[in-house]
Amino acid sequence: MQINEFGFLRVAAASPGLRVADCAFNTQEIKAVIERALKENVQIICFPELSITGYTCGDLFFQEALQHKAVDSLAELVAFMKERPSLIAIVGLPLKIKSSLFNVAAVVSAEGILGLVPKKNIPNDREFYEKRWFASGNDLHLFSVDIHGEKVPITPGGMIFNTPYANFGIEICEDLWAPVPPSSALALQGADILFNLSASNELVGKHQYRKSLVLQQSGQCNAAYVYASAGWGESTTDLVFSGACLIAENGSLLAESKRFSTESELIIADIDIDVLRHDRIKNSNYLAVMPESSVEIDCMLPPGTPDKWYRTFNPYPFIPSEEMTGDHLPEVFQIQTHGLAQRLRHTGITTAVVGVSGGLDSTLALLVTIKTFDILGLPRENIHGITMPGFGTTKRTYHNAMELMKSAGVTMKEISIVEAVTQHFRDIGHPVDEHNVTYENSQARERTQILMDYANKTGGLVVGTGNMSELALGWATYNGDHMSMYAVNSSIPKTLVATLVRWIADHRMEEPTRSILHDILDTPFSPELLPADEEGNIAQKTEHFVGPYVLHDFFMHRMLRYGDGPKRIFFLACQAFSKAYAADEIGQWLRVFYKRFFAQQFKRSCMPDGPKVGSVNLSPRGDWRMPSDAVADTWLNELKNDPDIHNPEPRISKH
């Protein structure tokens, strides 16, 4: 497996043990950490600020002996790296240029010293008096420097290092704390990864602020941010350094070191370069900005071949983590209820009609409507819950629908569709025992007609029940359950529907409503358009025909949120669901997803209004604008032509 083939790059941040002003010892420690990183197939590693000498040398920086030894140690590292072509290392040292001393980062690989980046923002406060020793990189006017006979580029402008798999830039410590960090310009110049060589001391509460800076900058720049800070061995005369190392990607923390460790610290993460570049393409504020003083440097970097990942792949991207559940799920519910509340307030409508089937989607729509009426101070009796049993309705779903409406205090109405649909079959000459798509869709359209007409009768608004996963797959009858007057679930994927209903049941409901909701949660997904089996149980189970919703929600999220292609989605799904689904099964359902997603766009092109809840939405007026006659061949052929993907013919059912 090549990590770079699927758009990832492995990086590391290190805080090795050191001795102040002992360049030989520090260089050996750096080498030892590099050897550890090589065993883990790291491709780029970043060390702290002034890591060759130590940050706390004070006036020893003025000593020529230390200056010369630092440069000699850098040359020693260059010789060491000559035999290790698979890794690029970034180290810090003091460097005398003409009559000034600069705090620089050196980028070293098997090719030699690729470039030098000077620190621009030099602190001069109560804790750090760097201006006593170092000049700002902004004052530098040379564009190369001689190191042991080698001409090395150095520039006050942006320096972008281009590898075959990603581009990176560098800033040093205080640069991040400046009002306009150099990394912001580096990101605009094309840096996917931003490295920071730092020496940040510890104070009570400071680490949380430092972490927030790293996360914020990675998010603002749509970049990865790799932060390595000085630690064990730095002088504690006045300050203590904890060896804080952080790796963030687009606002999310991927790895964090143990602080105050007495050992050398090394953290590793796999950066998703493809996702970062996709987000920048969608961000119109990312314009190519290359100052005249900027330099681009091409770097050799062989492909990485790790046997394990330093990254997890979330199989449930729409479901919040356990620690975020208490914040995210109430917010989802509020967005739904306030969207419906505004639509009712704008139209002056004070009644609503909801088709209640006893399934999850209609249950969530009813709960949203109830909460909305409570917010607006409208009586729940103004909510007309209509259950419409048909040929496939089971006792379980019918009972749950009736009991849920009764416990909620809404106006209940039961209208059987059997007689009306049977008459319709006679009118169009369709045999009642021919259970085909006409048989199914006639029932869905009859139910929608009832809801629409009853809304006209009561002066109400039909609240839609369909979810985003059904819209992606087209698992809705055109002008049947596909249509409503306001679709509160239209950006809620199926996996989130269940999670949200369970949260509402456990945190917002009392008995007996809670027990009813839990039984609804345990009911198999089904449109109940085919007759029940001999025991009266659901015979038509949705996931038997279209595949597991957990897979389809994962496919949809990767395609719409990150623009991933079929091969990459297949690869990521195999990682995320390695313990749940075989690779050939994932490939089968991925083909189903693409076929249905492209073929069913015409239903999404005229979908009703509904509130956007998360980062992914299928509204033709917002996030997803796709022609209804787009062809899926390019996507399907990519799967077909990949020898690693088995291609059994998938089961396809029209709906």
C-alpha neighbours within 13 Å on the C-beta side of residue 369: 36
How many whole angstroms separate alpha carbon 493 and alpha carbon 323? 20
Q: Residues 42-46: what's their mean pLDDT?
A: 98
User: In sequence order, what DSSP letters do the residues of 73-92 get, joined into one string?
Assistant: HHHHHHHHHTT-TT-EEEEE
Return the pLDDT at 219: 96
Q: How far is CA 317 from CA 284, 547, 558, in A?
A: 25, 18, 9
Q: What digits encode the pLDDT tens for the residues 353-383? A: 999 999 999 999 999 999 999 999 999 999 9
CATH superfamily of 322-640: HUPs (3.40.50.620)
Q: Which residues of 287-298 are buried (b: 16+ CB within 10 A; e: fewer)?
A: eeeeeeebbeee
Return the pLDDT at 467: 96
Q: Taking phi first (over 0 means left), then psi (-120 to 50 degrees means alpha), and beta for anything else, what does residue 409 get?
A: left
| CB < 8 Å & 24+ apart, contacts of 583-586 | 583/644, 583/645, 583/646, 584/646, 584/648, 586/551
Strands 411-414 and 383-387: parallel
Return the pLDDT at 292: 61
How many whole angstroms separate alpha carbon 585 and alpha carbon 573? 11
Q: What digits encode the pLDDT tens for the residues 535-566? A: 555 444 556 678 899 999 999 999 999 999 99
Return the pLDDT at 194: 98
The second-level CATH assignment, the architecture, of 3-298 is: 4-Layer Sandwich (3.60)
How many whole angstroms separate alpha carbon 351 and alpha carbon 343? 12
Least confident of 137-141, 155-159, 423-427: 155-159
Least confident of 155-159, 224-228, 633-637: 155-159
- Cα end-to-end distance, the chain, whole Å: 39
**Radius of gyration over alpha carbons of the chain, in Å?**
31
The share of the chain scoring above pLDDT 90, in percent, equals 79
Return the pLDDT at 3: 83
Q: Residues 179-183: what's their mean pLDDT?
A: 92
How many whole angstroms separate alpha carbon 79 and alpha carbon 91? 14
Contact between 255 and 310 (Cβ < 8 Å): yes
Return the pLDDT at 525: 61
Answer yes or no: is pLDDT of 452 > 60: yes
CA 420 to chain CA centroid, nearest Å: 47
Return the pLDDT at 79: 96
Outline which parts of the chain fall under CATH 3.40.50.620.
322-640
Q: Residues with catalytic annotation? A: 49, 119, 173
DSSP annotation of 205: T
Least confident of 7-21, 362-376, 419-433, 507-521: 507-521
Q: What digits encode the pLDDT tens for the residues 223-239? A: 999 999 999 999 988 88
Host H or E run for residue 169 = strand 167-172
Q: Please, what is the Cα angle at 73 between 110 and 37, to 5 degrees?
A: 50
Return the pLDDT at 542: 56
How many whole angstroms separate alpha carbon 379 and alpha carbon 127? 63
Return the pLDDT at 293: 63
3-state secondary structure of 315: coil
| β partners of residue 447 | none
Q: Taking phi first (over 0 means left), then psi (-120 to 50 degrees means alpha), and beta for anything else, what does residue 18 get?
A: beta
| β partners of residue 162 | 167, 298
Among 492, 244, 95, CA closest to 105? 95
Q: Residues 321-327: what's their mean pLDDT?
A: 89
User: In sequence order, what DSSP letters do the residues of 416-431 get, joined into one string?
Assistant: --HHHHHHHHHHHT--
Least confident of 47-56, 237-246, 456-465, 639-648: 639-648
How many whole angstroms separate alpha carbon 73 and alpha carbon 144? 19
User: In sequence order, what DSSP letters do the residues of 535-560 get, joined into one string?
Assistant: TS-----HHHHH--HHHHHHHHHHHH
How many whole angstroms separate alpha carbon 573 and alpha carbon 304? 21
Starting at the earlier edge strand, list the strands of the sheet with 265-272.
112-118, 100-109, 88-97, 44-46, 8-15, 265-272
Using CA of residue 66, residue 67, residue 68, residue 72, what is the dihedral sign?
A: positive
User: What confidence category does residue 2 fall into, taking pLDDT thresholds of 50, 70 and 90?
Assistant: confident
Answer yes or no: is pLDDT of 328 > 90: yes
Indicate the pTM of the whole model.
0.89
How many H helices and E strands in the chain?
Answer: 20, 20
Q: Residues 642-650: what's their mean pLDDT?
A: 59
Q: Residues 425-442: what's their mean pLDDT?
A: 94
Return the pLDDT at 651: 42
CA 607 to chain CA centroid, nearest Å: 26
Using CA of residue 58, residue 62, residue 63, residue 67, what is the dihedral sign?
A: positive
Return the pLDDT at 655: 44
Contact between 440 and 530 (Cβ < 8 Å): yes
For residue 73, give both structure tokens: 């140690």
Give the Cβ contact number of residue 446 at 10 Å.
Answer: 20
Q: How far is CA 314 from CA 184, 256, 398, 577, in A?
A: 29, 19, 36, 9
Contact between 87 and 107 (Cβ < 8 Å): no
Q: What digits encode the pLDDT tens for the residues 294-307? A: 789 999 999 988 88
Return the pLDDT at 238: 87
Answer yes or no: is pLDDT of 503 > 60: yes
Among 608, 347, 352, CA closest to 460? 352
Outline which parts of the chain fall under CATH 3.60.110.10.
3-298
Strands 144-147 and 150-153: antiparallel
Q: What digits encode the pLDDT tens for the residues 167-178? A: 999 999 999 999
Give the Cβ contact number of residue 519 at 10 Å.
Answer: 16
